[in-house]
């Protein structure tokens, strides 16, 4: 019975995944959730900042095969965060500019979030949630039931409270770090700025909880992991620069 519902596949880095839902299911859920967020939250009217965020996103998406045009919305909020959803949706909170001081640092964040989508982490998380909460036999009908939409939205990482985002697991975060770093480097953004970004994050956070109490890696662990990937990313960066890719998304 399990084989008829669960698709056992691999992530872009070769990690095993069990995915219960189709790409169309996830795209629909992402679009519905994004529409709900736009109704709940305040959208920034700052045209300059909107163009800036859209420019950075466009440069990154250009490196995604069949990437197309992603919808980007800048939310007026103090929250230091961003997210991406299936269906080509990106949300950025203005509070992120407190730590993302350059286009390269912003690209590090958005590239990381796009990498979550490309790695089908939302599908993976929704699948795990459904397997845990309602059982495999009901998973194929879960997204079509109005009563399950809120739990499914939470599984995407979008909390019920406005502006509250739920974290991915550590293995998913590490995977998105690697793929996001590659993506920004291929687009011509300096991957070294990803480390600077997380140092800014560490300076901004007050009393981050111990790593064992959080699904997110600690700032120090994340910086160490990014540093170990820098040689690979730097090669992509040099190639991109040699191809004339020099993003100029002025803030």
Two structure tokens written together for 183: 């993506």
What's the distance, CA 24 to chain centroid?
19
Those residues whose C-beta lies under 8 Å from the C-beta of residue 2, and which sit 6 or more positions away, are: 136
Residue with tokens 């739920």: 166
What's the distance, CA 48 to chain centroid?
23
Phi and psi dihedrals of 8, rounded to 5?
-90, 120
Q: What single DSSP character describes residue 167?
A: P
Those residues whose C-beta lies under 8 Å from the C-beta of residue 78, and which sit 6 or more positions away, are: 93, 94, 95
Strands 82-85 and 7-10: unpaired
For residues 105-140, b (16+ Cβ closer than 10 Å) or e, as one string? bbbbbbbbbbbbbbbbbbbbbbbbbbbeeeebeebb
Phi and psi dihedrals of 15, rounded to 5?
-80, 140
Two structure tokens written together for 219: 């700032």
Q: Does the annotation count 124 as an active-site position?
A: no
Give 3-state DSSP helix, strand, coil % of the chain, rounded to 5: 55, 10, 35
Annotated active-site residue in 113, 173, 175, 192? 113
Q: Tell me which residues are annotated as active site.
A: 113
């Amino acid at each position: 019975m399990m084989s008829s519902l669960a698709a056992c596949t691999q992530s872009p880095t070769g990690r095993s995944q069990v995915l219960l839902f189709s790409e169309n299911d996830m795209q629909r859920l992402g679009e519905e959730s994004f529409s709900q967020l736009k109704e709940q939250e305040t959208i920034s009217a700052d045209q300059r900042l909107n163009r800036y965020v859209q420019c950075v996103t466009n440069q990154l998406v250009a490196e995604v095969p069949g990437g197309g045009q992603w919808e980007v919305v800048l939310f007026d909020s103090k929250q230091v965060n961003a997210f991406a959803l299936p269906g080509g949706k990106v949300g950025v909170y203005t509070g992120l500019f407190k730590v993302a001081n350059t286009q390269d640092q912003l690209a590090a964040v958005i590239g990381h979030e796009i990498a979550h989508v490309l790695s089908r982490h939302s599908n993976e998380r929704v699948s795990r949630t459904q397997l845990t909460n309602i059982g495999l036999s009901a998973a194929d009908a879960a997204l079509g039931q109005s009563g399950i939409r809120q739990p499914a939205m939470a599984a995407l990482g979008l909390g019920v409270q406005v502006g509250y985002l739920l974290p991915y697991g550590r293995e998913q975060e590490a995977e998105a770090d690697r793929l996001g770093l590659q993506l920004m480097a291929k687009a011509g953004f300096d991957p070294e700025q990803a480390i600077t970004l997380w140092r800014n994050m560490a300076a901004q956070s007050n009393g981050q909880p111990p790593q064992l109490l959080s699904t997110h890696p600690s700032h120090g662990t994340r910086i160490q992991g990014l540093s170990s990937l820098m040689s690979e990313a730097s090669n992509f960066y040099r190639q991109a620069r040699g191809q004339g890719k020099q993003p100029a998304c002025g803030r």
